[in-house]
Amino acid sequence: MGREIVIKLSQLADHTLTRTRGAEAADALRSAAAAGQASRVYLEMAADTLVTASFVDELVRQAAEMECAGGPEVVFVVDDPEMLQKFQKSVTWRQLQCRYRRPGDEAIRTLQPAS
Amino acid sequence: MSAGHQGPESLHIQDTRCFLMKLSFDNIDRFCAEVDLAARDSVIDLSRLEFIEPFAIIYLGQFIRYHNRLGKRFTVRMPPVRSKSREYLARVRFWDRFNFDADTIEREGMFGFLSATSLNDIVELPKGRYVAEETAELVAGVLGRSGVKVSADAVLEVVAELSDNFAQHAEVELATLAVQYYPNLHEFAIAVGDSGLGIRESLSRNPEHAYLQGRPHHEAIEKAFEPLVSRRPEGGTGLTNVRDIVIRQAGRLRVASNDGFVYIGEGRTKRGKRAYELPGVQIDVTFPERT
């Protein structure tokens, strides 16, 4: 197992309302992971600003792409049930899986597409 | 009063005692279809206007703007002085926004004044990098001032999605936004519109959806609600998300694009053809207040 790093969403994005901002956050995530030589990134999604489903969807999509390309594994740290619902929608829409854990809980869970 | 940039002005004020007119999603297309665009002096008759909802104001404004771009000017018969509808159109700066000349606006006293229940303005949304963020901030201000009891997150997510959709797909530089809180109806309404590419044209640029070019506009609108349907391979969740939010909030969503429409609300979906084909996309979303 390589290095693990923890990043707060606010370190990646000032704005969290659109897919475009999600793509920028994913780029910043890639850079941070590369700089930290991380094999796993915990991305803490708690934010003071509204995080839209399109923003989440772009992060989920690009996290899956990163992993497929041999990049780091992304574990989203999510507490808010509404936010988790946005992740659930995204994996269902895209028929992907994504990893998440709740703050204070070490267990990493996998979100599967809803049937 | 003339809408356009050149030529003589003409202002007609008619007696309104006969019958009054309400303009809404349900009839604004017919109202526009009845404007004689072939006439030298095309008249938009608002003299009997009693009430106009945000969707209709955006639709009518885009109708004027679209035809102005094609070189058409209109004579607008205005509601009577001191009528509520005339004051409302002044308050939202309808005349300023949709190409009416500054001299007439000043002479007729068509200036805005303040209200806690609307944006006090039809807002221009210039296509730009932060249009979604800027629009959401404006609407957040209205939510804060008006004290309306709706989910701010739901409203702002819808506003962000709709304004970003315009920026990504419309291929025109400006859209317009109107926002209104109806305290007596316990409803909060947002309308966003442009006279750009339209949904069918946008989707059909993706080879996977090119078949829509030969299909009715309402079919393309319905298609756009499906997840991952977009002209771009990475997108296609915006309208899906808006629909889901509206359903969760027990609201209403109405989308018009060219001559198609789709209505989602009260547990049902209606779709069909409108009486007038206005290019672009015009959308309104209504949120009921929480009791």
Angle between the N-to-C axes of helices B152-169 and B238-248, in degrees from 0 to 180, rounded to the nearest 10 = 160
Give the whole-angstrom CA distance, residue B269 versus residue B271: 7
- Chain A residues within an 8 Å CB radius of B227: 93
Give the whole-angstrom CA distance, residue B113 versus residue B88: 9
Is the CB of residue B224 less than 8 Å away from at least one CB of chain A? no
Q: Give the tens place of pLDDT for each residue, B166-196.
A: 999 999 888 989 988 888 999 999 999 999 9
Q: Give the tens place of pLDDT for each residue, B28-49.
A: 999 999 999 999 888 999 999 9
**CB neighbourhood size of B37 (10 A):** 12
Whether B89 and B148 map to the same domain: the answer is no
Quickly state the pLDDT bin for B103 (edges 50, 70, 90).
Answer: low
Whether B68 and B127 map to the same domain: the answer is no
| Environment class of B182 (CB within 10 Å of its CB; exposed 0-12, middle 13-18, buried 19+) | middle
Whether B207 and B231 map to the same domain: the answer is yes
Total domains in chain B come to 2
Whether B149 and B100 map to the same domain: the answer is no
Q: Give the tens place of pLDDT for each residue, A31-81.
A: 999 999 999 999 999 999 999 999 999 999 999 999 999 999 999 999 999
Which among B98, B113, B128 is the end of a domain? B113
Whether B82 and B118 map to the same domain: the answer is no
Which among B70, B87, B113 is the end of a domain? B113
Q: Which of B132, B228, B234 sits opposite A17 (nearest CB)?
A: B132
Whether B274 and B173 map to the same domain: the answer is yes
Whether B106 and B197 map to the same domain: the answer is no
Q: What's the number of CA atoms in the CB half-sphere (13 Å) around residue B156?
A: 21
Q: Which of A52, A61, A82 sits opposite B161 (nearest CB)?
A: A52
Give the whole-angstrom CA distance, residue B2 versus residue B104: 8
Q: In what order do the strands lie in the sheet with A109-111?
A: A3-8, A38-44, A73-77, A98-101, A109-111
Residue A107: CATH number of its domain: 3.30.750
**CB neighbourhood size of B113 (10 A):** 8
Domain hosting A49: range is 3-111
CB contact under 8 A, B160 and A18: yes
User: What's the pTM value of the predicted model, to 2 decimals?
Assistant: 0.89
Residue of A nearest to B232 (CA): A19
Question: Can you tell me the ipTM of this complex?
Answer: 0.94
- Chain B residues within an 8 Å CB radius of A94: 228
Rg (CA), chain A: 13
Residues counted in chain A: 115
Residue B166: CATH number of its domain: 3.30.565.10
For residue B98, the Cα-to-chain-centroid distance in whole angstroms is: 12
Give the whole-angstrom CA distance, residue A20 versus residue B16: 50
Whether B26 and B68 map to the same domain: the answer is yes
Q: Which of B136, B228, B241 sits opposite A53 (nearest CB)?
A: B241
Cβ atoms B98, B154 nearer than 8 A: no
Residue B30: CATH number of its domain: 3.30.750
What angle is formed at CA B268 by the lines to CA B266 and CA B271, rounded to 5 degrees? 125
Total domains in chain A come to 1
A1: distance to nearest CA of chain B, Å? 31
Whether B53 and B29 map to the same domain: the answer is yes
Domain hosting B267: range is 114-291
Q: Give the tens place of pLDDT for each residue, B63-89.
A: 988 988 888 888 888 888 888 888 888
Cβ atoms A50, B153 nearer than 8 A: yes
Which among B113, B130, B161 is the end of a domain? B113
Is the CB of residue B151 less than 8 Å away from at least one CB of chain A? no
